Amino acid sequence: MSDVGYIRRHNRPLYFFALFYLAFLYIPVLFLPLFSFNDAIYVAFPIKGFTTAWYEQMLTNEPMHAALVNSLKVGAASSAIATMLGIFGAKAVTKYRIKGEKPVVSVIMLPLVIPGIILGVALLILLSRIGVTLSLYTVTLGHILICVPFSMATLMARFEGFDKSMEEASADLGDNVWWTFWRVTLPLVAPGVIASLLLCFTISFDEFIMAFFLAGTEPTLPIFIYGQLRFPQKLPSVLALGACILVVSFVVVFVSQWLQRRDDPAAQGLGN
Amino acid sequence: MNGNDAYIRIEKVSKHFGDVAAVDNVEFNISGGEFFSLLGASGCGKTTLLRMLAGFETPTMGEIYIDGAAITGVPPHQRPTNMVFQNYAIFPHLDVRRNTAYGLRTEKLDKAESNRRVDEALEMVKLQGFGDRKSTELSGGQRQRVALARALIRRPKVLLLDEPLGALDKKLREEMQLELRALQQSLGITFIFVTHDQEEAMTLSDRVAVMSGGKVLQIAAPKEIYNRPVSVEVADFIGQMNFVDASVTDLADGQALIDTAGLGQIKARATEFAHKGANIVVAVRPEKLTLSKDRPAGEGNAVQGVISTAAYLGDRSHFYVTVAGTDKPIAVAAQESDMSDGQSLGADSAVWLSWSDEAVVLLNRA
**Domain boundaries along the sequence of chain B:** 8-236, 240-364
Mean pLDDT rounded to a whole number for chain B: 88
Q: How far apart are CA A55 and CA A59, in angstroms?
A: 6
pLDDT value, residue B2: 46
Q: How far apart are CA B188 and CA B73, in angstroms?
A: 27
Fold classification of B8-236 (topology level): Rossmann fold (3.40.50)
Which of B54, B106, B136 faces A174 most closely, judged by CB atoms? B106
* pLDDT band at residue B70 under the 50/70/90 scheme: very high
Which of B87, B93, B154 faces A173 most closely, judged by CB atoms? B154
pLDDT value, residue A260: 67
What is the rounded average pLDDT of the residues B203-212?
94
Nearest CA in chain B to A177: B77
CATH, domain range B240-364: 2.40.50.100
* pLDDT band at residue A85 under the 50/70/90 scheme: very high
Q: How far apart are CA A59 and CA A106, in angstroms?
A: 44
Which of A166, A188, A272 faces B167 most closely, judged by CB atoms? A272
- Judged against a pLDDT cut of 60, whether residue A132 lies above it is answered with yes
Q: Which domains does chain A have, with CATH numbers?
A: 61-263 (1.10.3720.10)
Give pLDDT tens digits for B123-141: 989 898 888 898 888 988 8
pLDDT value, residue A51: 80
Burial of B80 (0-12, 13-18, 19+ CB in 10 A): middle
Nearest CA in chain B to A165: B89
What is the rounded average pLDDT of the residues A62-79?
90
- Judged against a pLDDT cut of 50, whether residue B188 lies above it is answered with yes
pLDDT value, residue A267: 44
ipTM of the complex: 0.83
Q: Is B77 on the interface with A (CB under 8 A)?
A: yes
Give pLDDT tens digits for B229-252: 999 999 988 888 999 988 888 888
Q: Is B312 on the interface with A (CB under 8 A)?
A: no
User: Whole-angstrom distance between the N-terminal and C-terminal Cα of chain B?
Assistant: 37
pLDDT value, residue A259: 72
Dihedral angle sign, alpha carbons of residues A54, A56, A61, A66: positive
What is the rounded average pLDDT of the residues A41-68?
80
Answer yes or no: same fold for B8-236 and B240-364: no
Cβ neighbours of residue A154 closer than 8 Å, sequence gap 6 or more? A86, A192, A195, A196, A199, A260
What is the rounded average pLDDT of the residues B284-296?
86
Q: How far apart are CA B76 and CA B55, in angstroms?
A: 5
Give pLDDT tens digits for A144-203: 999 999 999 999 888 887 788 999 999 999 999 999 999 999 999 888 898 899 889 988
- Judged against a pLDDT cut of 80, whether residue A40 lies above it is answered with no
In degrees rounded to 5, what are phi and psi of residue B246? -155, 170
Minimum distance, in Å, between the CA of residue B275 and any CA atom of chain A: 50
pLDDT value, residue A264: 52
Peptide bond connecting B156 to the previous residue in cis, omega within 30 degrees of 0: no
* pLDDT band at residue B340 under the 50/70/90 scheme: very low
What is the rounded average pLDDT of the residues A201-224?
88
